[in-house]
């Protein structure tokens, strides 16, 4: 019996959820950047529908606001801006800065890469080497001093997802993006990434194919892959169900596993009316890398999709995101385990 066919057990993890101060925006954002610098939590950019919902003809607006929280019981500072309105990129914390990678704006997908630093009440922004191609809806994580990026789409109307893996070695005095051999499975967008035990993991997401009229059709995925420098890729156990756009990078637990929280499993993709969509699944999955095995860790009180994570003050912070398709939430949730 393979690991992927083992009965799904319950994890021994005790998940503890709490709310941090909500973002100072009445709607909230999907696809924000997030991370930590100067002991502060930073959430920036993203997109929403501020006036009307998409099924009412509302227009998606990208944002450049940057919010900074210096203490869990404090107030968000909000007088800062990104260099451009953007969202749906990748963000990782490295070298006491938030590295923001790619994404999109109202005109298309982006190659921009930059770092945000919080220093003595000021937000600093520094450009980093741009991506070799425009990229949004990808996933990524920091392994050691290297940033890994996988999948995504190259244009807003793409009918094919990308099967590309890129790496930026921050320990190099003049870092440049390099393209690695991709994972052996299907192309994908909106997958979940994780960094565990010196390896880069990519799980779930959605593949794309052109429909009868050329429109992109999604295939929801539950397969996963592990890249270890010097050893390459290998397939890991399948998730028990597909998951698309879960919080990423996935929270790492006990140094040997990670959590896939909420996200979209595709079961309600055609739900009507859209205004009454009940929201995303609450299930939290735990992957144990030492056993190559999935289990159920519990539930989240606030299932979300299309959002980042950040490790801050011993908490895994999950800011804003989509509460259901088209609907954002300004709530900021945090997770710890015991």
Mean pLDDT by 10 residues, the chain (338 residues): 45 88 97 98 98 94 98 95 97 98 98 97 97 98 98 97 98 96 98 98 97 91 98 98 98 94 94 93 97 96 98 97 96 93
The sheet that has 199-203: what strands, in order across it?
Answer: 192-196, 199-203, 224-228, 232-236
Residues 6+ apart with CB under 8 A from 42: 33, 34, 35, 36, 66, 67, 68, 98, 116, 118, 123, 310
Query: What's residue 4's pLDDT?
Result: 38
Query: What's residue 220's pLDDT?
Result: 98
Query: What's residue 8's pLDDT?
Result: 58
Element (H, E) at 194: strand 192-196
Using CA atoms, how far apart are residues 164 and 108, in angstroms rounded to an integer? 19
Domains and CATH numbers, the chain: 3-337 (2.120.10.80)
The SS3 call for residue 228 is strand
Query: What's residue 10's pLDDT?
Result: 62
- The b/e string for 48-66 (b: 16+ C-beta within 10 A; e otherwise) is bbeeeeeeeeeeebbbbbb
Query: What's residue 2's pLDDT?
Result: 35
Query: What's residue 5's pLDDT?
Result: 37
The sheet that has 165-169: what strands, in order across it?
Answer: 139-143, 146-150, 165-169, 177-180
Number of neighbouring beta carbons within 10 Å of residue 186: 16
Query: What's residue 11's pLDDT?
Result: 64
DSSP assignment string, 17-48: EEEEPPPS-SS--BS-EEEEETTEEEEE--EE
CA 311 vs. chain centroid, Å, equals 13
Q: Report which DSSP code applies to 264.
A: B
Element (H, E) at 80: strand 77-81
Q: What angle do CA 111, 115, 120 make, to 5 degrees?
A: 155
Using CA atoms, how far apart are residues 77 and 68, in angstroms rounded to an integer? 5
């Amino acid at each position: 019996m393979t690991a992927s066919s083992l009965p799904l057990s319950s994890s021994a993890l005790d998940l503890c959820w709490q709310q941090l101060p909500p973002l100072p925006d009445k709607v909230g954002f999907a696809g924000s950047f997030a991370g930590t610098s100067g002991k502060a939590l930073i959430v920036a950019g993203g997109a929403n529908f501020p006036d009307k919902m998409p099924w009412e003809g509302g227009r998606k607006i990208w944002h450049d606001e940057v919010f900074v929280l210096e203490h869990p019981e404090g107030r968000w500072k909000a007088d800062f801006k990104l260099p451009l309105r953007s969202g749906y990129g990748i963000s990782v914390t490295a070298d006491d800065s938030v590295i923001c990678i790619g994404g999109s704006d109202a005109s298309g997908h982006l190659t921009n890469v930059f770092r945000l630093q919080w220093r003595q009440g000021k937000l600093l922004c520094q450009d980093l080497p741009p991506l070799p191609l425009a990229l949004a809806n990808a996933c990524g994580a920091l392994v050691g001093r290297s940033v890994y990026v996988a999948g995504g789409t190259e244009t807003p109307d793409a009918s094919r997802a990308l099967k590309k893996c890129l790496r930026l070695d921050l320990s190099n005095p003049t870092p440049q993006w390099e393209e690695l051999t991709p994972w052996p499975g299907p192309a994908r967008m909106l997958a979940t990434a994780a960094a565990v035990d010196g390896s880069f993991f990519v799980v779930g997401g959605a593949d794309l194919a052109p429909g009868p009229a050329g429109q992109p059709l999604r295939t929801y995925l539950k397969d996963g892959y592990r890249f270890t420098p010097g050893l390459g890729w290998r397939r890991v156990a399948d998730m028990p169900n597909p998951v698309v756009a879960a919080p990423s990078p996935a929270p790492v637990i006990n140094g040997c596993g990670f959590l896939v929280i909420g996200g979209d499993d595709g079961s309600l993709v055609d739900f009507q009316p859209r205004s009454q969509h009940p929201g995303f699944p609450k299930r939290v999955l735990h992957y144990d890398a030492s056993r190559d095995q999935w289990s159920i860790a519990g539930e989240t009180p606030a299932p979300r999709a299309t959002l980042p994570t950040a490790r801050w003050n011993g908490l895994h912070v999950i800011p804003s995101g989509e509460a259901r398709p088209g609907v954002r939430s300004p709530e900021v949730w945090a997770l710890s385990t015991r």
